[in-house]
Structure 1
């Protein structure tokens, strides 16, 4: 299908009509700015094919505000060597005429002819919508919808399959679909989409399971009934035997016997504990007695030790007493030397103080002289500062007024220059002996004069000439000159100066005075930051301090002369301080030794006295008769206690052997074992009696229910339901198998259809993404996209990439339709606007390749991006102007 000419009239913004002819079989690039009518042209093509000519929903096709318009679209195209011409008018005088190589059709017949050709359908009522557009809806891309392809493929799916029916085969045809639908319908009566039972099949399955459970429950109850009968016989035998033997009473008798034996052992253990306590007390008494015995034995040895200690302490005391006189002499000598050193230090300090006072007096005299000099400088600077301030006051001038005066003077000078330029210059060169009069002034020889006002030139013997200079501009300049002169005079009078130069001179003197004031202020601040009063106060302080230092110096001089009369030494202060420190250290050492010797003497005297007292005490104790008697009594007590301990240890050993032989822990365990046995045997007999009663009652109830009869009836019902269930189960499985086989067959045939479509997709995709792959599903819908290690759905790509992939898919569909002999026309309204330069270049190659097989209408508002497409662009705005001019 190749469009040759399109004409629209009274269609939205095309009131006067627009004709687009000489359309090429390949790419037709139509460009224009926004709102130039590109989308309107596309809307006209879509309306010509999609909208019923009688449609009442076509009001939006008329020009805005024109209710009497009749939107008209005329399209001429060629298909398979035949010339088709469509004339369609909407709203007013609506009609539809179709001419095919001389054969005419009109009205709905013509519309159905077009729908059959292109593969779309008309709505039964209302405006045409996306679901009616079929194949044109897939290949004609509106502005901003290039990335959305899923719905277009879905709506064109039936037409695609119908157009390619010869490639699909019988199962994929409508007849094959009916078979699959019939099988699916019968399968759906028995199975859900996931293969689970439903309907009668599900009801029978549930009933079957219910009956199985009921039969199982009844069989379990019958089995349990038989088990309970057997249990009743066994339990009755055990109950009678236990009543005869009464094992719990035997266990209690054994427990009492074990308890009696355990009480006997506890009595032995109590005796053993008391014996151990007695043995412990005997051992404590024996230990105390032995300690006393050892103490008395050690006192004899201590007597010799005490005497030796006393002799040693006495000799130490004698040595300390001999050393005391020498140490006292050393302390007295050190104190004398320390006193002499202190007196020498005091004299040296007085000398140093006198020298320091002399230096202080000299420093104070120098500072006083410097301060007096600073006071003099400050007074001179203050006088200069006052003079500078007076000069500033005398030469004060307003800087704003001075700037205004300068500006007005510059304007006056500029105005004078302009006046001189605009004025009439009269020049003359008269011969000798001749003269003229200009405004009553005689002129002769050579010269010139500027005339700012009208003048009269008198020529003797001839009359006069009137000279009118400048014109209106000169008069205006003169008036402005007078105003400026008057303003300057007023400003000079206000500033009390005669000229601008005088004002500038005053301003210069003012600036000099300000600089001097700043410099004098800085000098004065450097001399007296707090003012001259500070200098006066500092001078008074210095004079007072100098007077005090002088008086103190005179007093020290009198004292120093008295020391010189006594013949005192004149050593330096540092040497005297060193001698004093040395004397102090020697005194401290002597006093320390004296104190240590005194302490040692007192310690030795005390130790000697204590050693003598201790030696005398021990000697008195050892020689007393009472002590001898106590030693004899102590020896007898020790012998008696040792005998009692031996007897008690033998008794404890024999009793411990009896206790260990009796094994009290085992007897305690026997008591617990017999007690638990009696309780368990008695409880077991009680449980047997209770269980016998329950089993008898349960068996009586089950016997009345007729469990075996109920079980047989439920088995018969289960067999009946199971036969019906197996019939439906076989039918469901057969239908499921048949449906799977049919679908597998259709999928295999569908893959045969996908192969050529995949081939065309790969052809275009290799240009844009060399390593990528785009798969289509059984509904011919592009879906899974892979590129290298990346794997995902096409819908997950970026907006620009989805737009590019959408166009590639549409071109592949067009190639497939062309192979099936169906007409193809591709319309792209402002597409690929989200593509970068590199991707757009690849898409141009793809479009140029597709244009060798299909006609493409490419409308854009960016013609500069398509300059290298290899086709001649057509300016829609220029076409509109041509149509209007025609």
Structure 2
């Protein structure tokens, strides 16, 4: 399919007819800025083919603010080498006519015929949508959709498959699909598609078989339990009868009584040993008490010696502390005197520094007052000068509009006078020196040239009067125009108070000059008095007050005189005073420590004297010897009692070791528990016999073995059913697999031509790359050589720029495939590569140039410089016949 001419009228922004003709069979490049109508032209082509001429849902095709317009599109093209022309009008006077190879079709018949030829259909109601656009919807790329390929391929898949051949076998055709679908339906009734897990009748049969197995297993468990219970009942009856005759628990109770007697005898010996151990403990405590009393008395002698040594040590410490105190008292006095002298020197140095600082402050304030006074005088002079210049500037000022008007009127008067001079009567005189000639009563010089525009008399002495009557077309209107300009000029000059334009311009120049001088004077004034002359005077008064106060403060200070302080700075005096202060603090601390040490030594000496006196008084107590003798006798008696008690404890312990009380206690517990267990078991066995007899009678009435036989027969039937359904499911699954593999093999053969065309363009864009074709005929996984070797990824994982490049490449491959099948092709790229970088765009130009050898391609772009090397001349839309302004459209 080749476009020859496109004409649109009353279509969105194009009210007047716009015609594009002389389309090349290959590449056609149209460039224009945004909102110039490129997309509108592409939309008009799509509307002509895709929209029903009778549709009322396309009111957006009308120009803005014109609800009565009739959008129309006329396209001349060649289809299969035959000339064709499509004319459509929408909304207003609806019509559709298709003339193809001399045959004329009208209305819906023409639209349907065109849809069959190009491979698209129409919406049942309303405007067209992408799912109806088929092959043209795939090849005609709308702005911003080049990277979206899967959906448009799906909408055109049936047409693409038809183009790839109908003779690949029954399986690839509709009937083959029906067979696969029927087999798959049958299989899906028995197996789930994803996991092939049993479902439907097969699943129900397996569930029933499992349930029967569980029920049969429960019956068998119950039958087995019944048989075990019968055997257990017989054993229980036998054991119960034997125990009823033997009564073994009575023998155990006799043995229990004998063990209890032996345990009582052993416990009596244990109590006696406990009492004897208590006597031994009391005797040992008495021995320890008497020994401690004798030890304390022995320590009193040692305490006197210790107190005497402590008293001597306290006396030595007091002597050392007194020596330290005597050593630090003179040092502290010296440090205190040195610190006092350092403070006096610091006070004198600070007094000198204060006087010098005050004297410096007086000097600086005086200098500041003088400087500000000079600035104040200069500022007053500049203020007077500025006031004078501002007044002169105001007096010279003229309204800018009035001056501009004066220039215009002067120029207009000059122009009017020139026009009048051009058509008026000119008088040139070449007179003798003695000649006397007057024109309108004015003497004329020998070589004057005059122009007259009205009746004028020339008086020649000795000759008479000559009257000049000027003529000429439009003379009076020129005179009126000149007079009017003169009148306006005179009024302007009078209002401005100047004689002429030169005087006004001179006055304006003086105004500008005075304004500049005033600005300079203001700058100087601001430099001398930034806050104003009044503020500067206030500052001077304030500084003068401060100067007076500083002088008074200096007079109140007495200038310090002294050789000692003349050369000492405040910092040096502060350092000396700080050092003396530290020395004094150290001496004070040492003196206080010495005094504290003396006080502590005296306290220790007093305590030691008191403790020695107390210890000596204890030794001198007359009762102490008697208490010591009594303690010695008591210790001897306690030792004898301890020996006797220990012998009794050991004798009783030996007797208890032979009896082993713990074993006797265990015997009593064992015989008692055994007797109780035998009695309890006998009673429990009787209860179990009664319960088992009742249970067996109930179960015997259920017929468990008959029920189990019935379940077994039903289970055998369900096993045969499951086996039958399993064989059928496996057979259907195997058949579906064979059919699917066969269909996939044929599909690969089906996609081979498309794969070949895709690889052709892909090698231009990405040398060495490969691409797979998905089952839906859209681009699938792409393999490219990257920096780290081969990289594989899905089409949707690419960037937007790479996807739009691959989208264009895929559409070119579809066009090649359709062309091989004899189907019409036309490619429209409306700003299809806006996300492509410079290098990739260069490769895409090679791709498009190659595809243009086989197809007609229309490229619309708003970047003309980017397409200069496409190999074809760019056509500017604004240069097309009929192009004119209108409402904006979508870019």
Residue 651 in 1 paired to residue 648 in 2? Answer: yes
Counterparts of 1:553-564 in structure 2 under 5 Å? none
- Cα contact 1:275–1:648 (8 A) shared by 2: yes
Alignment partners' CA distance in 1, 2:74 and 2:222 = 89
Partner of 1:662: 659
Give the alignment partner of residue 772 of structure 2, picking from 761, 771, 775: 775
Alignment partners' CA distance in 2, 1:222 and 1:149 = 71
Deviates more, 1:774-783 or 1:166-175: 166-175
Partner of 2:155: 155
Q: Report how many aligned residue pairs link the two structures.
A: 722
Partner of 2:86: 87
Deviates more, 1:853-862 or 1:737-746: 853-862
- What per-residue deviation string (whole Å, max 9, x for no partner) do you get for residues 440-485 of structure 1? xxxxxxxxxxxxxxxxxxxxxxxxxxxxxx99868856764599x9
Alignment partners' CA distance in 2, 1:253 and 1:183 = 89
Partner of 1:265: 266
Evaluate the alpha carbon distance shift between residue 608 and residue 811 of structure 1 in structure 2; reply closer, same or farther with a 3 A threshold. Answer: closer
Partner of 2:77, secondary structure, is strand
Partner of 2:714: 717
Alignment partners' CA distance in 1, 2:608 and 2:725 = 130
CA-atom RMSD in angstroms? 6.0
- Cα contact 1:286–1:638 (8 A) shared by 2: yes
Partner of 1:435: none
Q: TM-score, normalised by structure 2?
A: 0.65
Give the alignment partner of residue 549 of structure 2, picking from 529, 539, 542: 529
Q: TM-score, normalised by structure 1?
A: 0.66
Alignment partners' CA distance in 2, 1:780 and 1:113 = 26
Counterparts of 1:422-461 in structure 2 under 5 Å? none
- What per-residue deviation string (whole Å, max 9, x for no partner) do you get for residues 678-697 of structure 1? 45444444443443333322
Counterparts of 1:282-301 in structure 2 under 5 Å? 282-288=283-289
Cα offset, 1:77, TM superposition: 1.3
Partner of 1:117, secondary structure, is helix
Cα offset, 1:108, TM superposition: 5.8
Give the alignment partner of residue 393 of structure 2, picking from 404, 407, 423: 407
Cα offset, 1:670, TM superposition: 3.9
Alignment partners' CA distance in 2, 1:859 and 1:757 = 26
Partner of 2:578: none
Cα offset, 1:715, TM superposition: 1.9
Partner of 1:735: 732
Deviates more, 1:83-92 or 1:745-754: 83-92
Alignment partners' CA distance in 1, 2:648 and 2:68 = 141
Evaluate the alpha carbon distance shift between residue 606 and residue 870 of structure 1 in structure 2; reply closer, same or farther with a 3 A threshold. Answer: closer
Cα offset, 1:187, TM superposition: 2.0
Cα offset, 1:767, TM superposition: 4.1
- Cα contact 1:776–1:782 (8 A) shared by 2: yes
Partner of 1:145: 145
Partner of 2:471: none
- Cα contact 1:817–1:824 (8 A) shared by 2: yes
- What per-residue deviation string (whole Å, max 9, x for no partner) do you get for residues 458-513 of structure 1? xxxxxxxxxxxx99868856764599x9xxxxxxxxxxxxxx9xx99xx99x9999
Cα offset, 1:828, TM superposition: 1.4
Partner of 1:869, secondary structure, is coil
- What per-residue deviation string (whole Å, max 9, x for no partner) do you get for residues 722-759 of structure 1? 32332222112111110011111111222233444334
Alignment partners' CA distance in 1, 2:867 and 2:623 = 139
Evaluate the alpha carbon distance shift between residue 524 and residue 831 of structure 1 in structure 2; reply closer, same or farther with a 3 A threshold. Answer: same
Cα offset, 1:74, TM superposition: 3.2
Partner of 2:868, secondary structure, is helix
Residue 50 in 1 paired to residue 54 in 2? Answer: no
Partner of 1:574: none
Alignment partners' CA distance in 2, 1:864 and 1:127 = 36
Alignment partners' CA distance in 2, 1:692 and 1:798 = 86
Alignment partners' CA distance in 1, 2:35 and 2:848 = 25
Deviates more, 1:273-282 or 1:752-761: 752-761
Counterparts of 1:465-504 in structure 2 under 5 Å? 480=496
Partner of 2:143, secondary structure, is coil
Partner of 1:714, secondary structure, is helix
Counterparts of 1:766-845 in structure 2 under 5 Å? 766-770=763-767, 773-785=770-782, 788=786, 792-845=793-846
Evaluate the alpha carbon distance shift between residue 673 and residue 531 of structure 1 in structure 2; reply closer, same or farther with a 3 A threshold. Answer: farther
Evaluate the alpha carbon distance shift between residue 597 and residue 713 of structure 1 in structure 2; reply closer, same or farther with a 3 A threshold. Answer: closer
- Cα contact 1:208–1:721 (8 A) shared by 2: yes
Alignment partners' CA distance in 2, 1:649 and 1:843 = 119
Cα offset, 1:854, TM superposition: 2.2
Deviates more, 1:518-527 or 1:750-759: 518-527
Partner of 1:529, secondary structure, is helix
Partner of 1:859: 860
Cα offset, 1:699, TM superposition: 1.8
Partner of 1:208: 209
Give the alignment partner of residue 688 of structure 1, picking from 685, 688, 711: 685
Partner of 2:873, secondary structure, is coil
Partner of 1:879: 880
Partner of 2:115: 115
Partner of 1:577: none
Residue 746 in 1 paired to residue 768 in 2? Answer: no
Evaluate the alpha carbon distance shift between residue 404 and residue 809 of structure 1 in structure 2; reply closer, same or farther with a 3 A threshold. Answer: same
Cα offset, 1:180, TM superposition: 0.8
- What per-residue deviation string (whole Å, max 9, x for no partner) do you get for residues 249-268 of structure 1? 55555555444433333322
Cα offset, 1:236, TM superposition: 3.0
Alignment partners' CA distance in 2, 1:597 and 1:156 = 118
Evaluate the alpha carbon distance shift between residue 528 and residue 638 of structure 1 in structure 2; reply closer, same or farther with a 3 A threshold. Answer: same
* Structure 1 segments unaligned to the other structure (5+ residues): 325-329, 343-347, 423-469, 486-499, 547-583
Alignment partners' CA distance in 2, 1:742 and 1:109 = 41
Alignment partners' CA distance in 1, 2:207 and 2:388 = 116
Evaluate the alpha carbon distance shift between residue 797 and residue 643 of structure 1 in structure 2; reply closer, same or farther with a 3 A threshold. Answer: same
Alignment partners' CA distance in 2, 1:390 and 1:137 = 88
Evaluate the alpha carbon distance shift between residue 383 and residue 277 of structure 1 in structure 2; reply closer, same or farther with a 3 A threshold. Answer: closer
Residue 703 in 1 paired to residue 706 in 2? Answer: no
